[in-house]
Each structure stands twice: as C-alpha cells, then as structure tokens.
Structure 1
Amino acid sequence: MFQKDFIFGAATAAYQIEGSINKDNRVKSIWDTFTEKEGTIMDGSDGSIVCDSYIKYKDDVKLLHELGVNSYRFSIAWGRVIDCNNEPNPLGIKYYQDLCKELLKYNIKPYVTLYHWDLPQRLMDKGGFLNDEISDYFMYYTEIVTQALDGLVSDYITINEPQCIIFMGHDACLFAPGIKYNDKEILHAIHNLLKCHGKAVKIIRKNVKNSTIGFAPCSRPLVPVHDDPILYQKCYLKYFSLDRSFEYANSVAIYSDPIFLGDYPKEYYLQFKDCLPNITKEDLELISQPIDYIYQNIYTGNYYSLDKDNNLVKNDFDFGYPEGNIDWLQIMPKALYYGPKYLYERYKKPIIISENGLCNVDFVSLDGKVHDPQRIDYIHRYMLELDKVSKEIPVKGYFYWSLMDNFEWNCGLKKRFGLVYVDYKTGNRIPKDSYYYYKDVIKRGGVEW
C-alpha cells in the first residue's frame, strides 16, 4: 500500500478533450493545421469536438469526484489564453479558472501542464522552437497563466513529453507540425525547448506561493530478464545513453541531464560536436533551475539480457508478449519498477508517474456497460511494481492516462485509453469497469498481490 499522502490522479490534455477549437477567440494551433492535411490522422478526425470538455467540464469534474482521485492533471491550451495579438484572452482564461474552482470544490488538486504539444500556429510561422525568441514567448505565456490561476493552482508541469515534441514532430514527422529537421536543427530546438522550461520555472517560483514544479518526459525502460548486477548496470547505462545513429531525440538524458545535473551528458558533446547549438553557461544555469519532482510517463519497456560475452541484447521474445491496442504498447509491468529506480538513482528527486495506461478494444456491451478486464489487469500489474519500488525510493504519485477516451493524436478517435467511455456521436460518458476498479484501488490506498 502507498503512503497516506500518495497522489492518486487521472490525466488529460487540452487538445485531446476540449473541442470548441473556434470558440471564444481561441487561436489556431499546430495540431489544427496538422489535422487539415490529408492522411495525417488515421480516421480523418480532428479536435473540433472530441469530448466537448470545454462545455462539459462540470460533468467531467463530477466523474473525477466519483472516481475518488485527489488530483487531476490537465493542460492549458496556449492558444486559448493568449489571443492572435499576443494579448491575454479573458474568455479562455475564465474557462481554466472555472475548471480549477470546480475541482477545488470537490477537494481535487489541479496539476497544470503548461505545454502539451499545441503550439499556436502563429508562433510556428515564426520558426517554432528554432526561433530563439520562443522562450520569451513561453515566459510571457507562463506569466499570464500563473497570474490568472493565482490562489487556485500550486502544482505545475512545464512541458509534456519533449521526445514527442521533437522526435515525433520534427524527425519521424508523425505528429504536428510534421516538419523534418536535420541534426543541427533538432539540437537547436531541444535547447530552446529546455530554455522555455527554465524561464517558466523562474516565473512559477516568482508568482506561485508554495509551488511544486516538474517536467514530464516519457521513457521506455530497459527491464533485465533476471536479477544480475552486471545486467542491471548495463541496462541502467543504456537507458541514459545517446546514440546519434538511432532516435537520439527520444533520449532520456538529452532532456533530463541539463535540468537535473546542470549540463548535457559528455556523450552529447562528443557525438554532436559538428552540429552543436550555441550553449552558454547562462543557458545551463537557466535550464537547471531547481525543481521538485521527476515526473515520468511510462507505459511499456523492453526486456534485455546478456550474451555469452556479457554484451547487452534486446530479447526477441518481446514480440510474444501481450500488447495493447496500439502498435507501441507492449505490456511490461516491470517498466514501472525499473524506470523510477533508474531515474532516482541518477537524479535523486522524488518520482511521480505522470502518465500510465492501456489502449484497449472497448465498446458498449448489450448490458449497456463497458467491460475492460485487460485494463483492470494492466493497472493491477503495473501498480504492484510501482508499490514495490516505492519501498526503495520516494514515489509520490500516479496519474492514470486517461480519465476518458479522447483524440489519440495521429490515431484520431480510433484508440481508447480512458477509464470512461466516450460516445463521440452523442458525447455521452460511460464509466468502464476499470473506472470502478481504480476507484477501489484509491479507496484502499493501493493494490495487493
């Protein structure tokens, strides 16, 4: 069982649930633009309506209350609170104020993510994260949000999954804006993104009393197939390694080392010596402003073993393991043991799992209910591992992804992660069996074998 003050939460993101993309002076985001391109979204859907939470937020807060969570992680849509003239938008600001007040009415603590991938298109048109002024825009945006939510929010996450922003958006180009960058541009964008984080931290500390701050990357931990010190150490080192030849923009260390350790890894300077951005001492001091938690989004992992020469080998039998209903999600509960363990060993900060959940084949049965035993089993297995590691390191919380089915980025409305089923034609919400299971977990304070 977890500690009495454990954070039991659920999470969402603005573009995925709010809808109302043309309402109350909200300005266009890169995801609005991306969804307009033919072939970018699996089912051709977009964020125009989705869960309609901009209108139905009180219904959603009631679902959270009945679920029993003590915390709710959601993101602010940058283009909803800052208008086309870069001025505060009172209507958008009021929405988030009202949402926070509704949460607090039920004693649910708001955890605000400032950036969950929905850059205003007008800033993309100015160069996006290649524009060296982007961190000043982000600082201004953070100033507006923290002033508007003064007295309502004390817990902030600056940026969600930088790996998806950079790799998925500018390398693989499967996410918005879908613009391919070369190595030099990728490193430049990463550095500017980290400067956005640093400037936001300074503003939050200035404006928010008793603030807690985090940064929420994602990772796919290496899981040793057996208990062996040599194998563990090699898995640990590989987890934080950089490999220019293979998806380095997905690295853990390239984002987290500058924040927690004050500089990029030595490997970074060696691998990219021919295309480094301009990195100053002042930049590194800014990026490494002290923060309170290691947030981490962990859904899956990979099993590794050693060959006869003690070289690390990824196990082929990964592909025989159960999978979620999305191509990247293999069910590997021990990822929620080893990921936090590796992160705490390197960065020495308390851990909060900011996202974890299962994409499942969900539908309404003849009895009018949504039965999702696979998701129940997933939550149980993963929380057992989180409970186990919490006996060794400080684990402070867990946010299930997601409260409700929503717009699953380039998969559109075809993939479902929610504890609550959403009928996208009617907007009706139906709590799934997993909703009631998680409710019981929260009530009991954890899971048992």
Structure 2
Amino acid sequence: MANDASAVSDARSPAVSNDKLADPFTPPADSSLWRKNFLLGAATASYQIEGAVDEDGRLPSIWDTFSAKPGKVLAGDTGAVACDHYHRWEADVDMLASLGLEGYRLSIAWPRVKDAAGLPNRKGLDFYKRLLNRLKEKGITTFVTLYHWDLPQHLEDRGGWLNRDTAYRFADYADLMSRELAGTVDAWATLNEPWCSAYLGYGNGHHAPGLADGRFATQAMHHLLLAHGLALPVLRANDPASQKGIVANIGRGTANSASAADQRAAHLFEVQHNAWILDPLLKGAYPQDLFELWPGTEPLVLDGDMQTISAPLDFLGINYYFRTNVASDGAHGFRDVPLEGVERTQMGWEVYPDGLRDLLTGFKSTYHNLPPIYITENGMASDDKVIDGHVDDTQRISFLKLHLAAVNQAIKAGVDIRGYFLWSLMDNFEWAFGYERRFGVVHVDYSTQKRTIKRSAELVAKFLKERKARV
C-alpha cells in the first residue's frame, strides 16, 4: 500500500451524496472488464495481515522495530496481531473464494522463512506452501510478492538497503522461495513499491527504518532495483512457467497554473514518483532530472548494474491511488497545493481516476518496451462501520467503478492491461496509520477478528458471477 503522508495526519472522508447510493458497480456492456481473460482479484501484504510476529521461528522485521518506537505509528499500533491471518488463513481463503475473486496477490514475510544465518525456516515455508496449495485448489490465480517492506532487522543492522550486500541476500531469498514454491505461483513480483521503501524509509523517515537523507534514498533505491535485477534470472531458472515482474506505485502530478515554473514542477513531481523507478527498469538509466531536483544525490552505480536492472519483464504491476497538485517551490522543486472542493478519502487523498488513465497512456508513449500491465493495487480508505450486520461503503463502490472505467479507457487507448487487484481484501495494519484507516472490501473487527463482507465486495462478486455466466 502506497503511503506518503506522515503518521500524525488525521484527514477525514467527506459526506457522500445520496445519489451515489444508486450508482451501480457493474461496468457497461462494452467494457473490456467483461473479457474472460481479464483477471479481477484482491491483494494483501504479509506484515499488514499475518500477525504472529514471534511464532514458529519468525525473526523481527524493520516494521516490528519501527512500530515499537513511540510516535512512529498512529495510536502506537503494531502488526503484532493484525488480522491474525497466520492462524485464520484457511477461513480467509474460503472467504476469498466465496466472493468469486479470480486472483489473489499476497506477499511473503522474508523474516518468516529464513533464519539469521540464511538457512531455511521450515515452519515458515510450510505456512506458505499450505496457503498457496489451498489457493490453487480453489482455482485462484496466485501473484506472490517477495518483498513488501518487511526487511529482516538483522539485515538492517548491517546497513539494510544502504548496503549493497542486501541485494545479494535478496537474490538468495528469491532462490529459496522459487525452489520451494515452484508450481504454486502464477506470477512472482520481486518488490512492492520501491519508491516507498527508498523514499519513505530512507529519504524522509516516515516509514521503517526511519532514516531521512536524500543521498540515502537514491542509494537505497539503486540497491533495491539491483536486488530485483539479480533475482530475475534466479526466478526464471527455478520456476520457468511463472511470470516475473515488479510492482511500482505511480503518482499523477498536475500543475497549479499554466506558468512554465509550475509546469516544470509537475514534471519533476512525476520524475520523482515514476521515472525514478521506471526509467532504470525500462531504459537502463536514471532520469537526470531527478538529480536536478535532488542535487548531489547520485548513487554509486557499478559497471553492469544498469544492464542487470533493465532485464526484460513479463509484467509490470502498477499501484495507483491519487493525484497531487503542485506548484514551483521557487527553487529546484515543487510544493503541494491541495485543491479545494474535490472528493477525498479517509486518507485525505483526492479521488482522481483520470490520473490513472493519463499515466498509463503516457507510459505507453514513453516506454516502447512497456510490458503487459496488471493494476496490482487500487482502492481507498473510508471510516467504515458495521451497522445491523452490514457495511454500506458507498464511496468505495463509486471509487472502484470510476477507476475501473479509467482502466477500460486506457485499454481502449491501446495499453495492454490484463488484470486488476482491489486493495485490499480486508481491513488491515495501514503502516504509519495503524488500524484507523480501512482499505478493505471486507471489514475486520480487530477486537474479535470477525470478518464482515462489505457492500463493495458483494457487488464485485455479483459482477464476477454475471461475467462467468456470459462465457
């Protein structure tokens, strides 16, 4: 889940107009979403749902350490219990299947499957084997992310992503997992949102491990992307039948005025959010505009690194949530200028589906080797409550309908998009915002762990049932 606000933010969602209560979810008849081969699923991440942080040999992660520090996470929340998925996974898979969702994107907790000496932790590996085997039994397509931010703390103690050796340790981890889980994974993603890992973790300190230095951010990014590149040939060798890719969060930046300075600011925003990751992956070089924005932060790049990083991908995962309106800061960068009178979510993020369409079509023009795309995360947080056994998450229903329409527009414009994953399957630990912000299509009562299917999930299930009946 992409998250670039500080832990102390307390934005609230606006009231939703009654006319949206009648807004159906079902896409129009000419929508590409009716295609039989368009995958519709839901996503989660290990630290956000599993809990059981000290069971069966799991080691501490940087998020265990970070969330234990006062003031780092809203209300002092941690992922120690989360959704207790580690113990409730069978029921959660049954719930996923009952909704008719065709795909499930999950991540593996690196600290759960290897010990500090780099040896396999069999109890942790067995957990994921049981989970993936059950998903395959249910006929659910499996997308597995190797790194969704929970770096083992013992690696952070040796420098984390600032240490080039971590990239090689990641390749070792990818080797173990792809040997152990070969045949149960349809698609491997090496990293989730390296922008968040590098910038929020090492650039501004809002995420684990909580460091704040521009030079740290660019060097951490380089090592993250190097880790991705080193892992790809290992995954291909061990599990040749699966797809291999990476997941990037993208941001739409719009200019506050038509002035050249503000237009440049919007360009630099998108360089920092998008080209910083996509250019090395798809062009084999970092965008030089990035170092105009952050002078003197060029990472140490060794011979052969960029060739490793830019190896061909089978797919590119795209996570999108909102746009940012910016103006020139009067120097070399940009500043946020929040727009008034726009719809916002519980996170304070603007609902702007056109940004997803515009970015996707822009990528098609910019990157002539753009691989097939899956929207691996899209969704919104709202202050959902169970009333008489039901959750009527009206704003989310509208959000999903609008963003799926934007995806359809991008497909009609020629972008090869093959699937869409809701973020998230269920409410969970929302990183620096703890448990207050609810992104799930299934409500979780954290005091009882009761799951309640929201109206949005019911409508998605209804659509999938209708689509299946048409085939």
Aligned to 2:26: none
Is the 8 Å Cα contact of residues 302 and 332 (structure 1) preserved in structure 2?
no
Aligned to 1:286: 308
Aligned to 1:212: 243
Letter in 2 for 1:408: E
- In the alignment, which of 53, 70, 75 is matched to residue 43 of structure 1? 75
Residue 149 (1) aligns with residue 181 (2): yes
CA gap of 1:173–1:304, structure 2 versus 1, over 3 A, is closer
Is the 8 Å Cα contact of residues 203 and 216 (structure 2) preserved in structure 1?
no
Distance 1:338 1:437 in 2: 27
Distance 1:15 1:217 in 2: 18
Is the 8 Å Cα contact of residues 12 and 75 (structure 1) preserved in structure 2?
yes
Give how far 1:279 is off: 1.7
- Structure 1: 5+ residue runs without aligned partners? 243-247, 306-312
3-state secondary structure, aligned to 1:220: strand
Distance 2:464 2:365 in 1: 28
The RMSD of aligned alpha carbons is 2.7
Aligned to 2:216: 185
Residue 105 (1) aligns with residue 137 (2): yes
CA gap of 1:70–1:130, structure 2 versus 1, over 3 A, is same
3-state secondary structure, aligned to 1:300: strand
Give how far 1:314 is off: 9.6
Aligned to 1:257: 279
Give how far 1:69 is off: 1.4
CA gap of 1:273–1:430, structure 2 versus 1, over 3 A, is closer
Aligned to 2:3: none
Residue 6 (1) aligns with residue 6 (2): no
- In the alignment, which of 462, 466, 471 is matched to residue 440 of structure 1? 462
Letter in 2 for 1:259: L
Distance 1:269 1:322 in 2: 34
Q: Within 5 Å, which residues of 2 pair with 1:217-366?
A: 217-222=248-253, 238=267, 242=271, 248=272, 251-268=273-290, 274-302=296-324, 318-327=339-348, 329-347=349-367, 348-365=370-387
3-state secondary structure, aligned to 1:176: coil
Aligned to 2:444: 422
What per-residue deviation string (whole Å, max 9, x for no partner) do you get for residues 290-309 of structure 1? 1022211101114689xxxx
Moved more, 81-90 or 215-224: 215-224
Letter in 2 for 1:341: T
Q: Within 5 Å, which residues of 2 pair with 1:117-128?
A: 117-128=149-160
Distance 2:338 2:202 in 1: 31
3-state secondary structure, aligned to 2:390: coil
Distance 2:405 2:42 in 1: 18
Is the 8 Å Cα contact of residues 255 and 266 (structure 2) preserved in structure 1?
no
Is the 8 Å Cα contact of residues 68 and 442 (structure 1) preserved in structure 2?
yes
Distance 2:269 2:361 in 1: 13
Letter in 2 for 1:238: H
Aligned to 1:387: 408
Moved more, 99-108 or 205-214: 205-214
Is the 8 Å Cα contact of residues 266 and 326 (structure 2) preserved in structure 1?
no
3-state secondary structure, aligned to 1:68: coil
Distance 2:40 2:248 in 1: 19
Distance 1:190 1:356 in 2: 23
Is the 8 Å Cα contact of residues 18 and 51 (structure 1) preserved in structure 2?
yes
Distance 1:273 1:235 in 2: 16
- Structure 2: 5+ residue runs without aligned partners? 1-30, 328-333
Aligned to 1:309: none
Percent sequence identity over matched residues?
35
- In the alignment, which of 19, 24, 42 is matched to residue 56 of structure 2? 24
CA gap of 1:236–1:395, structure 2 versus 1, over 3 A, is farther
Aligned to 1:173: 205
Distance 1:70 1:236 in 2: 40
Letter in 2 for 1:398: Y
What per-residue deviation string (whole Å, max 9, x for no partner) do you get for residues 398-441 of structure 1? 11000000000011111100010001111110101111011123
3-state secondary structure, aligned to 1:435: helix
3-state secondary structure, aligned to 1:380: helix
- In the alignment, which of 215, 220, 231 is matched to residue 200 of structure 1? 231
Give how far 1:124 is off: 0.2
3-state secondary structure, aligned to 1:376: helix
Distance 1:163 1:274 in 2: 19
Is the 8 Å Cα contact of residues 223 and 235 (structure 1) preserved in structure 2?
no
Moved more, 369-378 or 112-121: 369-378
Give how far 1:211 is off: 2.3
Is the 8 Å Cα contact of residues 42 and 103 (structure 2) preserved in structure 1?
yes
What per-residue deviation string (whole Å, max 9, x for no partner) do you get for residues 5-56 of structure 1? 0110100000000000011000000000011111111111211111110111
- In the alignment, which of 395, 398, 422 is matched to residue 420 of structure 2? 398
3-state secondary structure, aligned to 2:321: coil
Matched positions, count: 427
Give how far 1:266 is off: 3.5
